[in-house]
Amino acid sequence: MRRVSILGATGSIGQNTLDLIRRVPGEFQVVALSGGQNIAQLAADAREMRAELAVTADPARLDDLRSALEGSGIRAAAGEAALIEAATLPADWIMSAIVGVAGLAPGLTALRQGGTLALANKESLVAAGPLMLATAAAHGARILPVDSEHSAIFQALVGEDRAAIERVVITASGGAFRDRPLSDLEHVTVAEASQHPNWDMGQRITIDSASMFNKALEVIEAHEFFGLKPDCIEVLVHPQSTVHALVGFVDGALMAHVGPPDMRHAIGYALNWPDRRALPVARLDLAAIGTLDFAQPDPARYPALDLARQVMATGGHSGAVFNAAKERALDHFIAGHIGFTRMSVLVARTLDEIGGGAAGEITLESVGRWDHLTRQHMDSLVVA
Ligand code: NDP
Ligand code: MG
């Protein structure tokens, strides 16, 4: 039996991962599960899967978790050190699906086991790409991308010579406000921004899809993970979310990955890799779909995309600064402190003022310092 752990088990990616594991009884032994506030889900899943360890990120919820697990024999723990322990328990395959840069330290710890890290947590590649890749290389670990676009690129590259890549096209649905007049965007609500036209995901990434901060992170993620030059990476708005990404080769061929908007495909691919096995995703009826549309993203509607280019040109710790500024802008938008369009304005200003391009090795500590500095700066701009 393969031993698996899921960091961020109570979230959208975590629950989809458990759905796949549940369908093949006897194939996987669940070792550790982590969550945050959703103690009932975490305890129910830990009991059902007979996990060894259940961790909540929030120490204030440890008593609740202990009571929910009473009599089960499953160990309960809480806080950052416990998340690291969850990533340390021997496992062949670990899903990194915590949201935000909080997923970086557990993900790095998991890589040190030298097994497979299924990486949904794009923030860790944006904030610390070189550190993630170097840690994987030093410990003989493998990172398999779970973000649908990056899984699509990874699949399109099987058997191909990476030197023959000319360009990569990442598609974007356009998010909740694709068709809203630009003048409305200043006043859209959190509830409206939390509705994705095609994908069912956690609230934060859904709002990031409306602003295209998610796509901005994904461009940087592709740059870091596949080692692609920034000008090789293109973004197209594709409202149907059917073509997830395309890889263009020097001979002019474009290999597209086409599938339904269901994360269980990308998760299942990483779970079964290098094999392909049956997955419970809908089969596309292309005749019923009929038409697939593609368009250039409007920079005025999606200013985050230009910021991603700025980050890639700057390098250094600017990815950590960008990610932290984005996370904090989103916190303030969700809390009702700032409007939707203000997020990109404040992130742009913070990138200019904090930068992050200074030379120096990227370590967990250095990323933590830039992250902290950036969040403080963002907060001072919001108060001002
Ligand atoms: P969710 O918000 O649905 O879930 C996040 C998970 O992380 C939950 O288990 C949550 O616990 C836990 N969590 C929240 N805050 C912390 C923290 N500070 N420390 C530790 N754990 C925490 O997110 P998603 O599943 O949507 O996304 C997870 C990651 O996957 C993100 O990096 C996202 O960008 C990426 N991703 C997601 C996709 C999707 O389809 N959802 C697609 C592609 C990438 P709890 O809920 O119990 O509080
Ligand atoms: Mg994606």
Residue 181, CA distances (Å) to 184, 253, 352 in order:
6, 36, 28
Q: Residue 287's pLDDT band (boundaries 50, 70, 90)? A: very high
Q: Both 179 and 244 in a single domain? A: yes
Q: Is residue 64 part of a domain?
A: yes
Question: Cα–Cα distances in Å, from 217 out to 93, 145, 211, 321, 362?
Answer: 24, 14, 11, 12, 18
Q: What is the mean pLDDT of residues 361-373?
A: 97
Average of pLDDT values for 122-133? 98
Closest residue by Cα to atom 39, ligand 1, is 201
Residue 214 contacts residue 123 (beta carbons within 8 Å): no
Looking up tokens 């204030």 gives: 60
Torsion of CA 140, 141, 142, 146, to 10 degrees: -170
Rounded to the nearest angstrom, the distance between the alpha carbon of 176 and the centre of ligand 2 is: 15
Question: Residue 303: its pLDDT value, please?
Answer: 98
Rounded Cα–Cα distance for residues 209 and 203 (Å): 10
Examine the domain organization and report whether 43 and 96 are in the same domain.
yes
Whether 276 is covered by a domain: the verdict is: no
Distances (CA, A) of 337 to 92, 327, 342: 43, 14, 10
Q: Which two tokens stand for residue 17?
A: 């991962």
Task: Please tell me the number of the ligand nearest to residue 331's CA.
Answer: 1
Q: Does residue 268 lie within any of the structural domains? A: no
| 196 and 66 in a common domain | no
Written as one letter, the residue type at 317 is H
Are the CB atoms for 279 and 266 separated by under 8 Å? no
189 shares a domain with 140: no
Note whether 27 and 131 are same-domain residues. yes
CATH code where residue 322 lies: 1.10.1740.10
What are 206-252's pLDDT values in tens digits?
999 999 999 999 999 999 999 999 999 999 999 999 999 999 999 99
* Residue ending a domain, choose from 88, 121, 145: 145
CA distance 299 to 294: 15
CA of 304 to the centre of ligand 2 (A): 15
**Amino acid present at 295:** A
Pocket lining for ligand 1, CB < 6 angstroms: 8-14, 35-38, 57, 97-99, 102, 120-123, 147, 199, 201-202, 204-205, 263
- Number of C-beta neighbours around residue 61 at 10 A: 20
Q: What is the CATH number of the domain that holds 44?
A: 3.40.50.720
Within 13 A of 181's CA, how many CA atoms are on the CB side?
Answer: 3
Mean pLDDT within 364-378: 98
In a domain, 273, yes or no: no
Atom of ligand 1 nearest to the CA of 100: 32
Residue closest to 348 by CA, chosen among 214, 231, 228, 213: 213
pLDDT, residue 313, reads 97
**34 within domain boundaries:** yes
Burial of 240 (0-12, 13-18, 19+ CB in 10 A): middle
| Domain membership flag for residue 267 | no
Span 97-117, average pLDDT? 98
Do the beta carbons of residue 143 and residue 92 sit within 8 Å?
no
Measured CA to CA, the distance from residue 98 to residue 104 in angstroms comes to: 9
Q: How far is Cα 255 from Cα 241, in angstroms, rounded to an integer? A: 16
Residue 277 falls inside a structural domain: no
Q: How many CB atoms lie within 10 A of CB 298?
A: 14
- What's the total number of domains in the chain? 3
Structure tokens at 49: 């899967």
Q: Same structural domain for residues 112 and 194? A: no
Rounded distance between C-alpha atoms, residue 380 and residue 383, angstroms: 5
Please tell me whether residue 364 adopts helix, strand or coil conformation: helix
Range of the domain at 72: 2-145
Residues 295 and 319 in one domain: no
DSSP class of 295: B
Atom 4 of ligand 1: nearest residue by CA position = 11
Closest residue CA from atom 20 of ligand 1 = 57
**Mean per-residue pLDDT of the chain:** 97
- Helices H / strands E in the chain, number of each: 16, 11
Nearest ligand, measured from the Cα of 212: 2
Q: Are 346 and 382 in contact (CB under 8 A)?
A: yes
The reply to whether 141 and 164 lie within a common domain is no
Mutate to test the pocket of ligand 1, among 96, 99, 153 (most ligand atoms within 8 A of CB): 99
Between the CA of 229 and the centroid of ligand 2 the distance, in Å, is: 19
Same domain, 346 and 293: no
**64 and 193 housed in the same domain:** no
For residues 10 and 18, give the distance between their C-alpha atoms in angstroms, rounded to a whole number.
9
Q: State pTM to two decimals.
A: 0.98
84 and 141 in a single domain? The answer is yes
- Any domain includes 365: yes
Mean pLDDT value across residues 88-113: 98
- Expressed in angstroms and rounded, the spacing between residue 252 Cα and the centre of ligand 2 is 25
